[in-house]
């Protein structure tokens, strides 16, 4: 009889433990389901607290005379409180810049963001420190192989030498390569934010003004739209603080290097918050 009583007590205690765990788990799920997050430019989101990870893949479209290249970026951000966060991001451009050169552009950046949140939107300002590294591999000789034979000049010919097509092409190629004159350290300031139109759809916008110590100035304007994947993904709603899919279009303008026109970059990305 004594052992039966001990068995009943053990089963009762085990059941109570499982019930408490279930209540805690349900409370945790309910708490996560009540979290309101706001997407921000660069595959990140405002979450009040926690860690955000985002990645994006896309296409970099420089000037008209330059070829398109592949692009990808990764961003990691930690929220210390509801008004300040810090993070880092990495961006790569790579591919055939034109018929004469290949390029690999790498950018690393550290930033601190100061937030002004509300229920439906978040605004931020961020100072940042960056480091750019550009590798341009010229292969004009390998592609063309031969030099254009020199033309004999007679006395009845005009004194002005005709401008060869290759000379014009090389000028355009130089303009392409000037887009990647950023090299070394840079500092800058960014402003941006996000706004939740509905539970599922939001808009984002950001701008950065960056000064590189190679005496170049870069302006970047990035509008975008985001979809709240967490609202339609049960696992993410139970487990994660946020999950956003975003599409962004960036317009880039470089100053102090005699280049007219804007470059564009297109990113499709995803963000996870824990």
How would residue 2 be classed by pLDDT, with cut points 50, 70 and 90? low
> Using one digit for the tens of pLDDT, what is the confidence trace for 39-65?
999 999 999 999 999 999 999 998 777
Length in residues, the chain: 274
Q: What are the backbone angles phi and psi of residue 122, rounded to the nearest 5°?
A: -140, 130
pLDDT over 70 (residue 18): no
- What average pLDDT does this structure show over 224-246? 95
Distance CA 118, CA 265 (A): 30
Residue 157 pLDDT: 53
pTM: 0.76
pLDDT at residue 62, as a whole number: 83
Bigger pLDDT: 178 vs 158: 178
Lowest mean pLDDT among 26-30, 77-81, 97-101, 183-187: 26-30
Tokens coding 130: 């960056």
Question: How high is the mean pLDDT of the chain?
Answer: 79
Check residue 146 and give its pLDDT.
Answer: 42
Average pLDDT rounded to a whole number, residues 176-197: 86
Tell me: pLDDT of 167 over 70. Answer: no
CA distances from 43 to 26, 206, 267 (A): 29, 12, 9
pLDDT score recorded for residue 191: 97
CA distance 171 to 40: 39
**What single string gives the DSSP state of each residue in 25-86?**
HHHHHHHHHT---EEETTTEEE-SSEEEEEEEEEEEE--TTS--EEEEEEEEEEESSSSEEE
Domains of the chain: 15-147+154-273 (2.40.160.20)
User: Cα dihedral sign for 50, 51, 55, 60?
Assistant: positive
Find, among 100, 109, 252, the residue nearest to 176 by Cα.
Answer: 100
Q: What is the pLDDT of residues 80-136, one digit of tens each?
A: 999 999 999 999 988 876 666 778 889 999 999 999 999 899 999 999 999 988 877
Residue pair 144/194 in contact by the 8 Å Cβ criterion? no
């Amino acid at each position: 009889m004594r052992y039966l009583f001990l068995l009943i007590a053990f089963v009762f205690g085990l059941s109570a433990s499982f019930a408490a765990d279930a209540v805690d788990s349900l409370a945790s799920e309910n708490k996560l389901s009540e979290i309101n997050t706001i997407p921000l430019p660069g595959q990140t989101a405002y979450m009040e607290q926690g860690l955000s990870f985002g990645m994006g893949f896309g296409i970099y479209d420089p000037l008209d005379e330059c070829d398109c290249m592949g692009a990808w970026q990764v961003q990691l951000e930690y929220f210390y409180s509801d008004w300040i966060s810090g993070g880092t991001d990495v961006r790569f451009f790579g591919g055939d810049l034109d018929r004469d050169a290949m390029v690999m552009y790498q950018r690393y950046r550290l930033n601190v963001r100061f937030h002004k949140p509300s229920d439906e939107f978040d605004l931020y300002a961020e100072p940042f420190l960056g480091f750019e590294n550009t590798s341009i591999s010229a292969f004009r000789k390998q592609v063309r192989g031969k030099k254009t034979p020199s033309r004999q000049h007679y006395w009845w010919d005009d004194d002005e030498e005709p401008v060869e097509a290759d000379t014009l092409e090389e000028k355009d190629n130089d303009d392409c390569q000037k887009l990647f004159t950023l090299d070394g350290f840079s500092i800058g300031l960014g402003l941006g934010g996000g706004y939740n139109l509905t539970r599922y759809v939001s808009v984002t916008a950001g701008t950065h003004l960056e000064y590189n110590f190679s005496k170049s100035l870069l302006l970047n304007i990035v509008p975008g739209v985001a979809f709240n994947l967490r609202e339609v993904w049960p696992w993410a709603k139970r487990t994660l603080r946020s999950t956003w899919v975003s599409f962004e279009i960036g317009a880039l303008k470089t100053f102090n290097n005699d280049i007219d026109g804007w470059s564009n970059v297109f990113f499709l990305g995803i963000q996870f918050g824990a």
